[in-house]
Amino acid sequence: MSLVRLNIKGISYSQTQNGAYALILNEVDGDRKLPIVIGAFEAQSIAIALEKEITPPRPLTHDLFKNFADRFDIVIKQVIIHKLVDGVFYSSLVCERDKIEEIIDTRTSDAIALALRFKAPIFTYKNILDKAGIFLKVDLDEEEHDEDSILIDGVLNEDIDISATTEDDYKSYSLGDLQNLLTEAVNNEDYEKAAKLRDEISKR
């Protein structure tokens, strides 16, 4: 089966349904998108890896895994989303140490969080993309979903941001106040708030 490379389009979350996040993967040489519902912790971990300006004061779980792997010369070469069963995606980490390759089963959300930290490519099989990746629409409010599950069919009609930001949240704050709030949010490990503050600072 042929592999198709994917890039991360972004992460979206529902304002009305707590804990519902959609990770959007985009076909590199095509227009199809693969949405995967993930947990809040994994969504934050992926967002932090994407946002170079936000550095956690202490390593998150995926950062710890990266530090551990580096210490013992383990490299993640690639991530493969290899199976879709009953709406749930299954993934593998292709690792290498001392020129010996190992394949480790993992949740898709964890695999992608690690792929970002190792700068490893993300792939899926063509038949999975054919089955689940035909122009999907982000609609997190319709029903509950399991982590790492497929979202719904439809058309992706807008770009997905790393974090959904309320326009008027921080408009009344000065740039200095925003910088102080950003530092405080990072120190408190409130990375969702930090991402919103970073967006507002970037606009200024």
Of the candidates 41, 37, 51, 110, the one whose C-alpha atom is nearest the C-alpha of residue 79 is 110
For 62, the token pair is 């995926």
Q: Which amino acid is at 71?
A: R
Q: In the prediction, which pLDDT does 164 show? A: 39
Of the candidates 165, 134, 121, the one whose C-alpha atom is nearest the C-alpha of residue 13 is 165
Low-confidence ranges of the chain (pLDDT < 50): 15-16, 136-144, 151-167
Q: In the prediction, which pLDDT does 27 show? A: 94
Tell how many helices (H) and how many strands (E) occur in the chain: 6, 8
Q: In the prediction, which pLDDT does 187 show? A: 77
- The whole-angstrom separation of Cα 21 and Cα 15 is 10
pTM recorded for the entire structure = 0.69
Beta carbons within 10 angstroms of residue 154's beta carbon: 13
